[in-house]
Chains A and B, each alone.
Chain A
Amino acid sequence: MLDFSGSFGVAAAPAVHLFMESRPSPDDAHLLRRIASGDGDALTRLFDQHSPVVLGLLVRMLGGRAEAEEVLQEVFLQVWMQADRYEESRSSPRGWILMLARSRALDRLRRRTSQQRREDEAAAGEGVAVRPVGTARLEAAEQRSRIGAALGVLSPEQRHCIELAFFEGLTHTQIAERLKAPLGTVKSRILLGMNKLRQALGTS
């Protein structure tokens, strides 16, 4: 069983394992089939296996721990109800769940006013410390991981644009406004960054 409880910086082995498991895992796919047939234990097992990384993503995107846990519950409710929609040929079970989580988090971000967001960010300090990508701790973790290595080859600007799009749901135009950069520059940063990411990950 994977252990996600440790942090990247401390528990190196689980972190590596986490990233190496990016393709469909037969166990997880089997769990999803069991969930689709109404097996509640399978849902609990899937939750135990993947909730730390899903919650990590939600905290990263939403800032507030309480809201992130709320969305985490919604995500697994969705998994419970829609497990039969999972297509093994298109994504890994973990990837599917992460994308469900990202989609829900983006919905929340869009509904949120800037005032609420500031409040949540302030409240986030009471829960878990949310470190932006680029801190020494995360960088140390990234060096041991495939995605970390891949992110390492991006320029800071390319990485920032991709993160704004991915974690905050901003479009080309919004990123250009946020960074006060020309639209064409933003588009090319994302394109070049994504291509570098793919090369580093070895996806064909």
Chain B
Amino acid sequence: MSADHSTRHEELLPAYALGAVDGEDLREMESHLATGCAECHRQLDLWQGDLEELAASVEPVTPSETTRRRVQRIAGAAAPIRPRPPGTLRWAALIAAASLLIAVWSGWRQARLGDELERLGAERDRLARQVSGLDRQLGLARAEADRMAESLAIIASPGARSIQLAGLGPSPKASGHTFVSPERGKAVFYAFDLPALAPDKTYQLWWIEGGKPVSAGIFNVDERGTGSVRVERAPQVAADAWAVTIEPAGGVPAPTGEMVLKG
């Protein structure tokens, strides 16, 4: 008990423990406690004990599972940060603090935005799939547009020639068109109404120059019987004729099979 201990201090202690003392009373109580009055400190601990019981008098409320998970995440994240003697392991403490902060931050963020993130994640995946699909389609469309543009350039070039091919024996209704651009040295060929072939067979386009067939490329037809060939090195002079034969898959150096188109 300090020299200036009085009943007044004892009377203020319960309210002081409650945190209710203010003004001049507060200054007086604090300066008295600062003297280290053992009796007042002992009494204060007892009052605190009573208040702990008052705190526990409330109706308990079970926390949500989310809060429990957050606390578990804190416990699993990093060792507690405690003050260390100066100069020892400062970096380790900083790193531990950083990892704990990150854990707490990510815990909060995850808990609060978990559902939203999940929804956005699913939406992002869906959009990514859509974009990737559209990209692929765009790539194909661009390639197709390029091919069409080149073919058009050949067909529309000055001095372009058009050769019509007619169906023969097995496919009388079939037809074909070859457009040759002497200026570009290229040609395009389109076939229509040709039947689909077995997988080990292919159609092969030829031009006849001086009685000798020269391969212009191989092609297959789609379900509508349409096929095409772009000839990168077309004959410089007008060919004697153009023809299509059925050949083994991969094509052959000289025609061996049945002729289905000629013109």
Q: Is the CB of B18 within 8 A of A166?
A: yes
A88 to B: closest C-beta gap in Å: 12
A36-B80, A81-B82, A96-B52 known; 11 other A-B pairs, CB under 8 Å?
A: A19-B57, A44-B71, A76-B71, A77-B74, A91-B49, A94-B52, A98-B52, A99-B55, A133-B57, A170-B20, A198-B14
Distance of A171 Cα from B79 Cα, bound (Å): 39
**Contact status of A172 and B21, CB under 8 A, knowing A90-B45, A90-B48, A194-B47:** yes
Is B229 part of the binding interface, using a Cβ–Cβ cutoff of 8 Å?
A: no
Q: Is the CB of A187 within 8 A of B15?
A: yes
Distance of A191 Cα from B67 Cα, bound (Å): 38
B62 to A: closest C-beta gap in Å: 5
Would you mind naming 6 contact pairs between A and B with Cβ atoms under 8 Å apart? Answer: A77-B74, A91-B52, A133-B57, A148-B57, A171-B21, A197-B54
Contact with B along A40-70 (1 / 0, CB 8 A): 1101100110011101110110000100110
**Smallest CB gap from B76: residue in A:** A40
- Inter-chain contacts of B45 with A (CB < 8 A): 90-91
* Most chain A beta-carbon neighbours within 10 Å: one of B46, B52, B66, B79: B52
Q: Is the CB of A201 within 8 A of B18?
A: no
B244 to A: closest C-beta gap in Å: 77
- Inter-chain contacts of B20 with A (CB < 8 A): 165, 170-172, 175, 190
B96 to A: closest C-beta gap in Å: 10
Distance of A53 Cα from B59 Cα, bound (Å): 7
Q: Is the CB of B22 within 8 A of A91?
A: no
- Inter-chain contacts of B66 with A (CB < 8 A): 69
7 pairs of A and B residues whose beta carbons are closest in the complex:
A95-B52, A40-B75, A194-B14, A52-B60, A171-B22, A165-B20, A38-B79
Is A116 part of the binding interface, using a Cβ–Cβ cutoff of 8 Å?
A: no
B55 touches which of A76, A82, A98, A171 (Cβ 8 Å): A98
Distance of A195 Cα from B63 Cα, bound (Å): 34
Q: Is the CB of A95 within 8 A of B68?
A: no
B49 touches which of A56, A166, A203 (Cβ 8 Å): A203
- Inter-chain contacts of B63 with A (CB < 8 A): 47, 51-52, 55, 69, 72
- Inter-chain contacts of A22 with B (CB < 8 A): 49, 52-53, 56
Contact with B along A72-84 (1 / 0, CB 8 A): 1100110011111
Chain A interface size band reads 35 or more
The count of residues in chain B whose C-beta lies closer than 8 Å to any C-beta of chain A is 45
Is B86 part of the binding interface, using a Cβ–Cβ cutoff of 8 Å?
A: no
Distance of A38 Cα from B67 Cα, bound (Å): 20
Contact with B along A2-29 (1 / 0, CB 8 A): 0011011000000000110010000000
Q: Is the CB of A197 within 8 A of B55?
A: no
**Smallest CB gap from A102: residue in B:** B55
* Most chain A beta-carbon neighbours within 10 Å: one of B68, B72, B80: B80
Q: Is the CB of B71 within 8 A of A147?
A: no
B67 to A: closest C-beta gap in Å: 5
**Contact status of A53 and B15, CB under 8 A, knowing A69-B67, A166-B51, A172-B21:** no
Q: Is the CB of B75 within 8 A of A198?
A: no
- Inter-chain contacts of B76 with A (CB < 8 A): 40
Is B123 part of the binding interface, using a Cβ–Cβ cutoff of 8 Å?
A: no
- Inter-chain contacts of A19 with B (CB < 8 A): 53, 56-57
Q: Is the CB of A4 within 8 A of B60?
A: yes
Distance of A180 Cα from B81 Cα, bound (Å): 47
Is B70 part of the binding interface, using a Cβ–Cβ cutoff of 8 Å?
A: yes
**Contact status of A106 and B75, CB under 8 A, knowing A38-B80, A55-B63, A56-B59:** no
